[in-house]
């Protein structure tokens, strides 16, 4: 196979990956927001536990088929990752529940400068002047949206703040673990998804009651809400698998001006 054909094939796969990422990212936001706002399923922590339970089943199935090979990851590393990841995904779901979709998306943009800040502090990375100006533009946009969006409230802002910082830490830690232990994204999922599913399903109902004063067992489950919950869980498989990819996307955004 010639280099030109290989390059074309790689480009086609990259375009397909970007398109799939955009469609599923938008899809899960729409489904989750409808589930919380329209059907009143305001149990963000429990919902995240359902997501990871579905992901765990998918990982076990792929491992049974032989698509995921055995790998090693110390329990101390697993628990640290699960702590960051739980705060990240629960924070994002709570932020979506308490904020408008617009502010939720704008808050996610602020993960770019936060991730860059972590690389500066932890990896001693140095960015060019153009990159710093680009980051300032992002920060300015986030600040303007925060001030002018009338739907922003204190608890929603706090949830978004926790979600952004914990997600940036999670993405940094994913990159660190994959580099140190030579793990693929599915290998990492095989080690962490069962722990996240168990911890979130056990603690989720209590956390959700503390956040909303509502009990998940008292929710009026309907066929529509159950279908929406199932859709949300299936779409979230892509979101979890895309953790390492999203970090690479952030790095790609500044690759033209980054100086190591």
- Digit-coded pLDDT (tens) for 54-91: 888 888 888 888 878 888 899 999 998 898 888 888 88
Q: Which two tokens stand for residue 158?
A: 């706090």
Helix (H, G, I), strand (E, B) or coil at 176: helix
pLDDT-derived band of residue 246, with 50, 70 and 90 as boundaries?
Answer: very low
Residue 76: its H or E element? helix 75-98
- Residue 46 clears pLDDT 70, i.e. is over it: yes
> What's phi and psi for 127, nearest 5 deg?
-105, 150
What is the rounded average pLDDT for all residues in the chain? 76
pLDDT-derived band of residue 174, with 50, 70 and 90 as boundaries?
Answer: confident
Over residues 39-58, the mean pLDDT reads: 82
The percentage of the chain sitting over the pLDDT mark of 90, rounded to a whole number, equals 5
Most confident segment among 9-13, 27-31, 40-44: 40-44
Residue 30: its H or E element? helix 3-33
- Residue 245 clears pLDDT 50, i.e. is over it: no
Please name which of 37, 28, 39 lies closest in space to residue 221, comparing C-alpha atoms.
39
Higher pLDDT, 229 or 105: 105
What's this model's pTM, rounded to 2 decimal places? Answer: 0.68
> What's phi and psi for 151, nearest 5 deg?
-80, -10
For residues 243 and 185, is the Cβ–Cβ distance under 8 A? yes
The strand pairing partners of 258, in sequence order, are 127
Q: Name the DSSP class of 31.
A: H
Other C-beta atoms lying within 10 Å of the C-beta of residue 93:
25
Q: Which two tokens stand for residue 142?
A: 């986030």
Query: Among all chains, which residue has been given the structure tokens 């895309």?
Result: 242
């Amino acid at each position: 196979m010639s280099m030109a054909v290989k390059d074309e094939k790689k480009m086609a796969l990259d375009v397909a990956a970007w398109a799939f990422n955009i469609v599923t990212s938008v899809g899960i936001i729409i489904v989750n927001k409808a589930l919380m706002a329209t059907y009143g399923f305001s149990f963000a922590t429990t919902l995240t536990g359902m997501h990871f339970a579905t992901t765990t089943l998918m990982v076990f199935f792929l491992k049974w088929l032989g698509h995921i090979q055995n790998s090693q990851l110390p329990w101390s590393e697993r628990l640290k990752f699960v702590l960051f990841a739980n705060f990240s995904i629960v924070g994002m779901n709570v932020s979506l529940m308490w904020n408008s979709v617009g502010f939720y998306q704008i808050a996610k943009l602020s993960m770019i400068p936060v991730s860059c800040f972590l690389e500066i502090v932890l990896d001693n990375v140095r960015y060019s002047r153009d990159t710093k100006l680009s980051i300032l533009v992002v920060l300015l946009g986030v600040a303007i949206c925060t001030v002018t969006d009338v739907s922003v409230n204190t608890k929603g802002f706090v949830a978004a703040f926790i979600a952004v910082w914990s997600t940036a830490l999670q993405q940094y830690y994913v990159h660190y673990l994959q580099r140190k232990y030579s793990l693929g994204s599915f290998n990492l999922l095989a080690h962490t998804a069962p722990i996240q599913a168990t911890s979130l399903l056990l603690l989720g109902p209590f956390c959700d009651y503390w956040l909303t004063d509502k009990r998940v067992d008292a929710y009026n489950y309907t066929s529509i809400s159950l279908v929406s919950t199932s859709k949300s869980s299936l779409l979230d498989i892509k979101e979890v698998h895309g953790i390492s990819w999203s970090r690479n996307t952030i790095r790609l955004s500044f690759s033209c001006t980054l100086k190591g």
